[in-house]
Amino acid sequence: MTGQELLQRHVERFNAAVRTGDWEPMLEQFADAAELEFRGIPVGPFVGKDAIRTAYREQPPDDELHVLESRERNGVVQARYAWLAEPDVAAGELVLTSEGGLVRRLVVTFERGVRWR
């Protein structure tokens, strides 16, 4: 599975979890020792699937996201994303590093209106 495919699957499962409250399908694609970091909000970082599970259970997101554009370089996928509530406004970036078809590290930034150089 390519990094782009993993990103697409992550977004699909993330959005399904926002709708249903069931985060387990999304978490299945994280490596056991995965890292999740948020930049621009005062939470985390979270290391390990159990810590990530707890984070989503205790502070679940309330909006779906979609990818505005993405690119992959040296095995790292970068994507600008928007929230469904404001689908044309970039909310930040996702930076996904994969390993063995799983998410090894995910950095989520919150930078409204971010533009790529």
- Give residue 83's pLDDT: 95
- In angstroms, what CA-CA distances link 19 with 22, 58, 116? 8, 16, 30
- What does pTM read for this prediction? 0.92
CB within 8 Å of 114: residues ≥ 6 apart: 80, 90, 91, 92, 93
Helices (H), the chain: 3-20, 24-27, 49-58
Task: Give the confidence band of 112 by pLDDT, cuts at 50, 70, 90.
Answer: confident
Tens digits of residue pLDDT in 63-98: 999 999 999 998 899 999 999 999 989 999 999 999
